[in-house]
Amino acid sequence: MTDTTSYPPSKDIAEAAHIDKERYDALYAASVQDPEGFWAEHGKRVDWIKPFTRVKDTNFDYDDVSIKWFEDGTLNVAANCIDRHLAERGTQTAIIWEPDSDGDEAQHITYQQLHAHVCKFANVLKEMGVGRGDRVVLYLPMIPQAAYAMLACARIGAIHSIVFAGFSPDALAARITGCDAKVVITADEAPRGGRATPLKSNADKAFAKCGDAVKMLVVKRTGGAIDMTEGRDFWLHELEQDVSDQCEPEEMNAEDPLFILYTSGSTGQPKGVVHSSGGYLVYAAMTHEYVFDYHKGDVFWCTADVGWVTGHSYIVYGPLANGATTVMFEGVPTYPDAGRFWQVCEKHKVNQFYTAPTAIRALMGKGREFVDPYDLSNLRVLGTVGEPINPEAWNWYNDVVGKGRVPIVDTWWQTETGGHLLTPLPGATPTKPGSATLPFFGVQPVILEAESGQRIETTEAEGVLCIADSWPGQMRTVWGDHQRFKDTYFQQYKGYYFSGDGCRRDADGYYWITGRVDDVINVSGHRMGTAEVESALVAHEAVSEAAVVGYPHDVKGQGIYAYVTLMAGREPSDDLRKELGNWVRTEIGPIAKPDLIQFAPGLPKTRSGKIMRRILRKVAEDDFGALGDTSTLAEPEVVDDLIENRMNRG
């Protein structure tokens, strides 16, 4: 996998960039030698109502985990993303909205217009009884109103929790009750790739499982037919008629939560990752500027959905805090054809483009004839995120999209980290295909031996990736469950933040992420807990037991492979396989639907009843020559059946 070719930034790029190699080295050294001094300085990049006097108060000791940054400062995040730009660039475009259909016109929303939209939205939320600290769930398509809603919450001090529009009613209901939301904001329908997801009717189904007090605010997107429940559901455009377009921003503490975002872990239900207002904004804005080498006037496009952390930090908060023009795209990379990304880059003269390896692989498969017709000469930085990028995809991105002249930033980070932790800087870091390269300022990565937890001091190392000290964008807690926060990230390796990823450090000190070391799989850059898919499967009346693992998938990176044992009296069939796939789809959402389901009369277990996932992974990978020791199994013969009936035949 390791391609050791190194691509240094060209002289032109290094000269024009904010940060060159020398400055990176100096700033990085300063950031880890004197974090207080470094962040006291860089914390000033946002506008504080009351400036902070305390910079860093963080503790990674398991018994006492606590993360606070700029803790006595006050600010408003929406004012930082909108109001402070009005004097200088009120008429500049803040958001370019590119709709699903390329036949529909794009919208250009200026900072002034953004201000009016957000204030109105904020006043509507207030009318609905939402105030400081209340939770608001967003279940929306990629439309400007998603950004307005986020910023409206921030303006009045409410905490938003976005649920990706691809999630099912059940998953939505769990998140609404999980954070005890007062209002859910949705739309009639979500158009994507020429098809529409019935968001409002999904939300209706979810509401059947929530308390009576929750209200729904509905954005009209397609005008499709929907049912409105009197007294519970309200149209945004109707309520907006009667409210002012001015709304004073609330003065919030740096440590007040800005948002909750549910993410999958290795055990149990998804957890609500809580991000702060001050530290998060400083970190999202600073990484956006330096990692993408953003300069005033640039057009920045991150293709993620706002339902994921990437959309939070690099469609909305980071770019808008920097006064950028940010592109918001409603559609998919292959609609109406595989040239859509590049057509949009040409049309809006995109300078920085940020996407996921799975999208690159899918487009690579369609051929360069979909790229070549478009003028991509405005591109200055290309970025990737979400999963390790294989060198073939990196090279295609570099050659076919970047024409060999555009630096690629492979950014490693997580929902929990708020912003990039390992990443090249375009003007500073020689890149190597497949490596997330070096730490961002203030980030102290360490590699520990997985079993012993010993820190490996040699430059070349392989083990689990931990971070030795806090950075401002770090999550603060798990919503309503601080113990779970401690247990998940600080228990296994004492004194460190444990990322859940495996990692190798090469002789140049470059980091290469090797993938999750826990029971989390990464499907098309989306995190999925195997336990979640398993519990959906066993909820089906025909299933007695299920075990889910990842396997290598050409486009998705990892696919979902499910082993299913049926209840006595039930027979395996293709129909049942289809039914189970659709079952998971409705229980969790399309992204969780297993790619392969193998019916197995028994699963390999130790005598104490623990499922031997190592064996299931090997069979799923078609690598059954390397099953290792099976002698500790209670019934070694089940393995023969697994191999015999494996689904993933090359």
Q: Which residues contact 613 (CB under 8 A, 6 or more apart)?
A: 519, 547, 549
- Distance, in Å, from the CA atom of 593 to the CA atom of 586, rounded to the nearest integer, reads 9
Q: Compute the least distance from the CB of residue 109 to ligand 6R9, in Å.
A: 26
Q: Report which residue's Cβ sits closest to ligand 6R9.
A: 415
Tokens of 447: 């590699």
Which of 412, 496, 510, 563 touches ligand 6R9 by CB under 6 A? Answer: 412
Q: Compute the least distance from the CB of residue 274 to ligand 6R9, in Å.
A: 14
Nearer to ligand 6R9, 217 or 461 (CB): 461
Nearer to ligand 6R9, 163 or 210 (CB): 163
Q: Does 558 bind ligand 6R9 (CB under 6 A)?
A: no
Q: Compute the least distance from the CB of residue 328 to ligand 6R9, in Å.
A: 18
Backbone phi and psi for residue 610, each to the nearest 5 degrees, phi listed first: -85, 130
Nearer to ligand 6R9, 74 or 358 (CB): 358
Q: ∠ at Cα 13 (357, 510), nearest 5°?
A: 50
Nearer to ligand 6R9, 148 or 397 (CB): 397
Tokens of 119: 């204030």
Choose the stretch contacting ligand 6R9; rule: CB under 6 A; options: 20-28, 361-369, 407-415, 624-632.
Answer: 407-415
Q: Compute the least distance from the CB of residue 513 to ligand 6R9, in Å.
A: 4
471 to 530, contacts with ligand 6R9 by CB under 6 A? Answer: 499-501, 513, 516, 522, 527
Q: ∠ at Cα 586 (585, 592), nearest 5°?
A: 30
Which of 38, 280, 413, 497 touches ligand 6R9 by CB under 6 A? Answer: 413
Backbone phi and psi for residue 97, each to the nearest 5 degrees, phi listed first: -100, 120
332 to 391, contacts with ligand 6R9 by CB under 6 A? Answer: 385-388
Q: Compute the least distance from the CB of residue 455 to ligand 6R9, in Å.
A: 20
Q: ∠ at Cα 634 (631, 637), nearest 5°?
A: 75
Q: How many chain residues touch ligand 6R9 (CB under 6 A)?
A: 22
Q: Compute the least distance from the CB of residue 190 to ligand 6R9, in Å.
A: 20
Q: Compute the least distance from the CB of residue 387 to ligand 6R9, in Å.
A: 5
CA distances from 437 to 72, 258, 449, 473 (A): 35, 30, 20, 20
Q: Compute the least distance from the CB of residue 384 to ligand 6R9, in Å.
A: 6
CA distances from 627 to 158, 610, 638, 642 (A): 51, 16, 13, 12
Annotated binding site for Mg(2+): 538, 540, 543
Q: ∠ at Cα 194 (192, 200), nearest 5°?
A: 50
251 to 280, contacts with ligand 6R9 by CB under 6 A? Answer: 263
Choose the stretch contacting ligand 6R9; rule: CB under 6 A; options: 51-59, 99-107, 405-413, 424-432.
Answer: 405-413
Choose the stretch contacting ligand 6R9; rule: CB under 6 A; options: 304-312, 316-324, 467-475, 604-612.
Answer: 304-312
Q: What is the DSSP string of 453-507?
A: -PBP-SSSEEEEEEESS--TTS--EETT-HHHHHHHHTSSSTTSEEEEEEEEE-T
Residue with tokens 């015999």: 644
Which of 113, 415, 429, 565 touches ligand 6R9 by CB under 6 A? Answer: 415
Q: Compute the least distance from the CB of residue 337 to ligand 6R9, in Å.
A: 27
Q: How far is CA 361 from the centre of its chain?
A: 19
Nearer to ligand 6R9, 435 or 565 (CB): 435
Annotated binding site for CoA: 192-195, 310, 524, 585
Which of 113, 168, 310, 598 touches ligand 6R9 by CB under 6 A? Answer: 310
Which of 77, 199, 309, 446 touches ligand 6R9 by CB under 6 A? Answer: 309
- Distance, in Å, from the CA atom of 137 to the CA atom of 150, rounded to the nearest integer, reads 10
Instruction: Give the H or E element holding residue 107.
Output: strand 107-110
Which of 414, 444, 535, 586 touches ligand 6R9 by CB under 6 A? Answer: 414
Q: Compute the least distance from the CB of residue 541 to ligand 6R9, in Å.
A: 32
Binding-residue pattern over the window 428 to 457 for ligand 6R9, x denoting contact by CB under 6 A: --------x---------------------
Residue type, 103: G
Q: Compute the least distance from the CB of residue 303 to ligand 6R9, in Å.
A: 13
Annotated binding site: 192-195, 310, 386-388, 410-415, 501, 516, 524, 527, 538, 540, 543, 585
Q: Compute the least distance from the CB of residue 291 to ligand 6R9, in Å.
A: 11
Q: Tell me if 270 sits within 8 A of 293, measured CB to CB.
A: no
- 434 sits in the region (left: phi over 0; alpha: psi -120 to 50; else beta) called left
- Distance, in Å, from the CA atom of 258 to the CA atom of 191, rounded to the nearest integer, reads 28
Nearer to ligand 6R9, 199 or 302 (CB): 302
Nearer to ligand 6R9, 370 or 493 (CB): 493
Nearer to ligand 6R9, 266 or 586 (CB): 266
- 373 sits in the region (left: phi over 0; alpha: psi -120 to 50; else beta) called alpha
CA distances from 201 to 176, 208, 487 (A): 15, 11, 37
Q: Tell me if 160 sits within 8 A of 171, measured CB to CB.
A: no
Choose the stretch contacting ligand 6R9; rule: CB under 6 A; options: 36-44, 224-232, 306-314, 360-368.
Answer: 306-314
CA distances from 563 to 264, 434, 572, 599 (A): 20, 31, 12, 6
CB burial class (10 A; 0-12, 13-18, 19+) of residue 174?
A: buried
Tokens of 489: 């990230």
Q: Which residues bind ligand 6R9 (CB under 6 A)?
A: 263, 308-310, 385-388, 410-415, 436, 499-501, 513, 516, 522, 527
